[in-house]
């Protein structure tokens, strides 16, 4: 075999159409490493470098398809197959030698990539072992197995399609395109034609099955350091499958009919098995433009669902105790026992995110009937029991829980929460922060290969304590300082001094407002701090920073002032437009941009009042507009509606920015206005904030006239 | 010895070989037949490339598909033969030695022997792409005899060769035929005449003749006539014009006639015998 291998290698090296491009590729790879290294020197973002590194992966795979096909096809081009077949397993030996030779060809760039990532790891000087392991796995899976897939596909196409180069390169191009974001536009066509996402989902299902790269060419989403590159078990299974399946195709060419039949049967079984496993792949982090991708899945789901408003909903009971037994494998499998304080209700309502499939609800006496409607579970009677056991499994597109990473913040209903609460706020475009006003006793036991970090005390993935929610994080995640948990590979790591500074700023702010500090702010610097993945704010405006009874989750913590402002934002209720609230906070924290023309010019109060009226009139036109009605608007009305909406959007920003600027910066009564609005934002008042703005502005106008 | 009993091969509905019965001993057989007669199919069945629907093929009383010795003893030159263009002839022979599981220690001597047999001993260092078509054919024979093969199946070995290469090929076969069973498929009768001891004529998947060259020639005794063009209408019974010659401005026909004619018959050659068979004039 060594001789055959050596000769195959000689054939490769002496073929100008193979060796010249190959050595050019090696040279280009080295140059590309230089580019990536330079990128790190400029920006010091290791994940950005890693993303650059994996981007050309599909080109390398395509190159290896070309190399392997052109090498293997030489046997057919030179009419060798017929006589090779008659020597005992001669063709298989020849293929074996070619595969071995190609493995060597592939191994060189693989080793180069591996060496480069290891070099980068030591160069960045972080010494976080899970990251090194992640990089090594990345190299094996995407710079090793993926290249082998290219090699095997090329060889298999030579065996099966023989000299039909057009078909071979056609398939190769399709394969390449399926590993890029090129498919976004064509895959959206069925939706545009039939107004249904079903076909798009099916097309993406097929695309995912063929995806062999970690980050598609053209994908501009960043990689979350807690999660890293996708390397869930299904990715490994797919990689092995795409390596073995072509091998079975090659073998069918090499053996006689009986063995051929057995091989076909084996490959069919393999296909069925992998499709089966692929269908139950569970929680994965999808980041592209498809409808199921995490930035869009929930917004689209809740936009299409009828609007529900459960603000102020009273459950009628409190969950005193949670006993949670979670298994986090490819997705979340949970058995959650809740103890409630009120046995006498006719109906019990719970909220559990709709992505979790409820298998049963029961008490100690057995299963009890329930109804599930989206995010809500209704139980008619507990038959006097005070303990309810929920068994469910499933996933959320955003709040993942799998073998690679876990990000389950306490405010997300991944376990049953008392009563009906909204999950998504359409108006503010973000997740509703669902925190219980009451603390419960939690016992949480988790079966997972990952080391999980939780706001409760405990070790070995078992936690216990009292809180108003349980947050779970795992992956490339660490306790980087006492009670501060973060993704060590991020450059904007939280620090204890930032948190202390934020607390001091907040105390000053409350002194300025002449208001007592809320409970959540008192000693918050002693709470456990969990840094959330940076890209979590991609699809949500509402949960950047959430303060819970014993811990804080925050996406950003670059400095004290920013954190203080984020915490204040989480304290005040979302009762005003985002521009107005943003303005309020920036003036409250003296963060206004003095060079901004708006800040420099004086607000014309009469014009402001006129614009408020105009905005109200435009807003009235769309108050009952929902997704369904939007679809049914006639062509004639569409242009008018679009123009009105554009004007409303423009005027909305102008009105809110001007109002905030005047009331909290320009007005002689600005301190009082800040207090009035603080009270308004923290009260249960349902008054329209623009009404309050209007009232205050008119009062000032009156005052000026007098 | 190879024995073929009742061999049939069908491709979908088309029966290409129909109940073939043959016995092949240590000699050179010419397998003659028109294009599409089933020659290549028969050779491929013997080589194990096709699985026949019916019948059996035995090598030394052992079914061919189970016989390890047949695999070791078999040398095969397909109709379309080629080698890695990037390798030298010697490297390619070495490559085939590995495929044939020839012991490493014997490879060098086997290659030298094989290349010498086909007069290519001086071309070992040349890349395959620099060899002529005839040389590649001879290299094909060399690869077939590597490992001292006892059975050689040569499918259309002379197709596309110029006369001098064909002559060289015939010499090569004559040099190799000792203690070997060689089956040469061809539709060029002269080649068979030059180097085969026996002839098998196959037509539409059936064996029409199996015997010596002399026997095939004898089939045409008293059936070959050289007549003037003007006399061609006087031929009695079925006839077939083999050749039209111009001698001293006169046109002569070489004719095969089923019945005895009043003209002087010619001495038949192998082609005459073959044509008698395939044209149903025997």
- The Cα of A24 is separated from the nearest Cα of chain B by a number of Å equal to 20
> Do the Cβ atoms of A78 and B49 come within 8 Å?
no
Its pTM stands at: 0.86
The two tokens of residue B17 are: 């070989």
Dihedral of CA A137/A138/A144/A150: which sign?
A: positive
Range in A97-101, A500-504, B5-9, B246-250 with the lowest mean pLDDT: B246-250
Helix locations, chain B, DSSP H: 39-47, 68-73, 89-99, 104-117, 133-145, 163-176, 189-195, 213-218, 270-278
| Average pLDDT along chain B, 282 residues, taken 10 residues at a time | 87 85 87 86 88 88 85 88 92 90 88 86 90 87 86 84 79 82 86 84 87 86 81 73 80 80 80 83 69
Distance of alpha carbon B9 from alpha carbon B44, whole angstroms = 11
The contact set of A with B (CB < 8 A) is 1, 3-4, 7, 10-11, 14-15, 74, 77-80, 82-88, 90, 93-94, 256-257
CA dihedral B246, B248, B250, B255 (to 10 degrees): -50
Residue A10 pLDDT exceeds 80: yes
> Do the Cβ atoms of B99 and A4 come within 8 Å?
yes
> Do the Cβ atoms of A7 and B77 come within 8 Å?
no
Look at residue A110 in the predicted model and tell me its pLDDT.
95
Per-residue model confidence as pLDDT tens digits over A599-654: 778 888 888 888 888 888 887 776 666 666 666 777 777 778 788 888 888 888 88
**For residue B82, which residues of chain A lie inside 8 Å, CB to CB?**
77-80
Residue ranges of chain A assigned to CATH 2.60.40.1730 = 308-475
DSSP B88: B
Q: For A12-20, what is the mean pLDDT? A: 94
What is the edge-to-edge ordering of all strands in the sheet holding A387-394? A366-367, A356-363, A387-394, A332-340, A319-328, A440-447, A462-467, A457-459
Q: For A522-540, what is the mean pLDDT? A: 86
> Do the Cβ atoms of A3 and B86 come within 8 Å?
no
> Do the Cβ atoms of B87 and A11 come within 8 Å?
yes
Per-residue model confidence as pLDDT tens digits over A65-76: 999 999 999 999
ipTM of the prediction: 0.86
**For residue B48, which residues of chain A lie inside 8 Å, CB to CB?**
85-86, 256
Look at residue B66 in the predicted model and tell me its pLDDT.
82
**For residue A85, which residues of chain B lie inside 8 Å, CB to CB?**
48-49
Q: For A584-598, what is the mean pLDDT? A: 85
Query: Which fold is adopted by the domain A308-475?
Result: Immunoglobulin-like (2.60.40)
Please tell me which residue of chain A has the smallest CA distance to B64.
A86
Distance of alpha carbon A200 from alpha carbon A185, whole angstroms = 10
Residue A244 pLDDT exceeds 90: yes
Other beta carbons within 10 Å of B244 = 12
β-strand partners of A349: A378
Alpha carbon distances (Å) from B191 to B16, B38, B76, B197, B198:
24, 19, 18, 11, 12
**For residue B104, which residues of chain A lie inside 8 Å, CB to CB?**
3
Residue A35 pLDDT exceeds 80: yes
The two tokens of residue B35 are: 């294009």
Q: Are B64 and B46 in contact (CB under 8 A)?
A: yes
> Do the Cβ atoms of B49 and A86 come within 8 Å?
yes
Angle separating helix axes A16-43 and A90-124, nearest 10 degrees: 20
Q: Which residues contact B170 (CB under 8 A, 6 or more apart)?
A: B191, B194, B195
Give the CA count within 13 Å in the CB-facing half-sphere of B258.
10
Look at residue A371 in the predicted model and tell me its pLDDT.
94
The two tokens of residue A75 are: 């046997």
Q: For A523-546, what is the mean pLDDT? A: 86
β-strand partners of A332: A328, A394
> Do the Cβ atoms of A83 and B84 come within 8 Å?
no
The two tokens of residue B177 are: 């035929």
> Do the Cβ atoms of A4 and B98 come within 8 Å?
yes
- Least Cα distance to A227 among A533, A454, A494 occurs for A533
Look at residue A625 in the predicted model and tell me its pLDDT.
65
> Do the Cβ atoms of A83 and B143 come within 8 Å?
yes
Per-residue model confidence as pLDDT tens digits over B146-170: 888 888 898 888 777 778 877 877 8
DSSP A214: S
Q: Are A631 and A641 in contact (CB under 8 A)?
A: no
Distance of alpha carbon A408 from alpha carbon A63, whole angstroms = 41
Look at residue A178 in the predicted model and tell me its pLDDT.
93
Can you tell me which residue has the tokens 């056609």? Answer: A170
Per-residue model confidence as pLDDT tens digits over A322-366: 999 999 999 999 999 999 998 888 899 999 999 999 999 999 888
Q: Which residues contact A48 (CB under 8 A, 6 or more apart)?
A: A39, A40, A222
Chain-centroid distance of CA B76 in Å reads: 12
Can you tell me which residue has the tokens 């199921």? Answer: A292
Interface residue of B43, B75, B86 to substitute, partner A, most A CBs within 10 Å: B86
């Amino acid at each position: 075999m060594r001789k055959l291998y050596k000769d195959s290698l000689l054939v490769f090296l002496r073929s100008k159409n193979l060796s010249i491009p190959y050595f050019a590729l090696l040279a280009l790879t080295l140059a590309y490493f230089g580019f990536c290294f330079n990128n790190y020197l400029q920006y010091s973002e290791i994940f950005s470098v890693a993303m650059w590194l994996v981007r050309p992966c599909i080109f390398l795979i395509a190159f290896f398809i070309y190399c392997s096909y052109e090498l293997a096809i030489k046997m057919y081009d030179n009419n060798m197959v017929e006589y090779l077949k008659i020597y005992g397993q001669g063709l298989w030996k020849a293929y074996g030698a070619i595969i071995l030779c190609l493995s060597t060809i592939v191994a060189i760039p693989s080793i180069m990539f591996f060496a480069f990532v290891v070099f980068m790891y030591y160069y960045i000087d972080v010494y976080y072992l899970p990251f090194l392991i992640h990089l090594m796995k990345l190299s094996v899976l995407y710079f090793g197995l993926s290249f082998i897939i290219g090699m095997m596909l090329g060889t298999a196409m030579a065996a099966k399609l023989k000299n039909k180069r057009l078909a071979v390169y056609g398939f190769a191009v399709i394969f390449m395109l399926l590993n890029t974001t090129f498919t976004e536009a064509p895959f959206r066509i069925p939706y545009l034609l039939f107004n249904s996402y079903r076909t798009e989902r099916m097309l993406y299902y097929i695309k995912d099955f063929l995806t062999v790269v970690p980050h598609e060419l053209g994908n501009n989403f960043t990689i979350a350091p807690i999660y890293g590159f996708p390397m869930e078990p299904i990715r490994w299974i797919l990689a092995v499958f795409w390596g073995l399946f072509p091998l079975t195709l090659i073998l069918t060419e090499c053996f006689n009919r009986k063995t051929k039949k057995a091989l076909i049967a084996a490959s069919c079984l393999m296909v069925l098995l992998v499709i089966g496993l692929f269908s139950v792949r569970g929680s994965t982090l999808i980041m592209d433009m498809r409808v199921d991708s995490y930035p869009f899945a929930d917004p689209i789901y809740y936009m299409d669902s009828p609007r529900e408003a459960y603000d102020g909903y009273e459950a009628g009971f409190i969950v005193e105790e949670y006993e949670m037994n979670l298994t986090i494998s490819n997705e979340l499998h949970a058995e959650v026992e809740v103890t409630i304080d009120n046995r006498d209700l006719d109906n019990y309502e719970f909220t559990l995110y709709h992505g979790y499939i409820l298998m049963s609800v029961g008490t100690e006496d057995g299963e009890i009937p329930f109804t599930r409607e989206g995010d809500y579970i209704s139980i008619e009677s507990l038959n006097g029991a005070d303990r309810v056991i929920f068994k469910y499994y499933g996933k959320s597109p955003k709040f993942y829980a799998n073998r690679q990473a876990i990000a389950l913040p306490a405010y997300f209903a991944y376990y049953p929460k008392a009563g009906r609460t909204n999950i998504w706020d359409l108006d503010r475009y973000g997740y509703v922060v669902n925190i219980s006003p009451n603390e419960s006793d939690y016992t949480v036991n988790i079966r997972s290969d990952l080391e999980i970090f939780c706001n409760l005390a405990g070790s070995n993935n078992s936690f216990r304590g009292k809180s108003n929610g349980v947050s779970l994080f795992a992956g490339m995640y660490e306790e980087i300082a006492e009670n501060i948990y973060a993704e060590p590979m991020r450059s904007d790591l939280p620090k204890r001094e930032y948190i202390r500074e934020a607390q001091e700023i907040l105390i000053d702010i409350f002194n300025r407002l002449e208001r007592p500090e809320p409970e959540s702010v008192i000693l918050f610097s002693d709470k456990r701090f969990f840094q959330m993945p940076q890209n979590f704010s991609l699809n949500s405006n509402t949960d950047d920073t959430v303060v819970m009874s014993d811990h804080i989750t925050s996406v950003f913590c670059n400095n004290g002032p920013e954190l203080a402002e984020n915490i204040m934002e989480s304290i005040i209720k979302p009762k005003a437009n985002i521009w107005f609230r943003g303005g309020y906070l920036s003036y409250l924290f003296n963060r206004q941009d003095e060079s901004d023309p708006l800040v420099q010019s004086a607000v014309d109060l009469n014009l402001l009042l006129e614009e408020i009226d105009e905005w109200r009139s435009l807003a009235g036109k769309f108050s009952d507009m929902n997704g369904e009605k939007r679809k049914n608007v006639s062509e004639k009305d569409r242009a008018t509606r679009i123009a009105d909406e554009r004007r409303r959007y423009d005027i909305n920003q102008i009105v809110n920015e001007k109002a905030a600027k005047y009331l909290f910066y320009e007005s002689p009564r600005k301190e009082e206005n800040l207090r009035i609005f603080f009270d308004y934002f923290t009260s249960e008042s349902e008054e329209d904030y623009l009404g309050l703005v209007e009232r205050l502005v008119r009062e000032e106008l009156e005052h000026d006239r007098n | 010895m190879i024995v073929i009993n009742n061999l049939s091969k069908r491709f979908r509905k088309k029966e290409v070989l129909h109940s073939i019965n043959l016995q092949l001993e240590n000699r050179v057989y010419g397998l003659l037949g028109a294009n599409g007669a089933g020659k290549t199919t028969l050779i491929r069945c013997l080589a194990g490339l096709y699985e026949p629907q019916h019948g059996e093929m035995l090598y030394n009383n052992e079914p061919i598909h189970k016989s390890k010795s047949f695999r070791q003893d078999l040398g095969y030159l397909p109709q379309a033969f080629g080698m890695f263009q990037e390798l030298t002839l010697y490297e390619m022979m070495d490559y085939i030695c590995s495929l044939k599981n020839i012991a490493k220690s014997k490879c060098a001597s086997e290659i030298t022997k094989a290349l010498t047999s086909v007069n290519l001993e001086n071309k070992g260092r040349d890349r395959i792409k620099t060899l002529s078509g005839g040389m590649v054919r001879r290299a094909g024979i060399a690869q077939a005899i590597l490992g001292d093969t006892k059975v050689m199946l040569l499918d259309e070995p002379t197709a596309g060769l110029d006369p001098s290469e064909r002559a060289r090929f015939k010499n090569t076969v004559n040099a190799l035929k000792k203690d070997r069973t060689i089956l040469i498929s061809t539709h060029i009768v002269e080649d068979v005449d030059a180097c085969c001891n026996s002839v098998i004529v196959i037509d539409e998947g059936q064996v029409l003749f199996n015997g010596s060259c002399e026997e095939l020639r004898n089939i045409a005794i008293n059936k070959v006539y050289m007549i003037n063009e003007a006399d061609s209408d006087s031929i009695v019974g079925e006839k077939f014009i083999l050749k039209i010659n111009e001698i001293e401005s006169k046109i002569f026909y070489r004719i095969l006639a089923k019945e005895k004619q009043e003209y002087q018959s010619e001495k038949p050659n192998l082609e005459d015998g073959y044509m008698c068979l395939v044209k149903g004039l025997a």
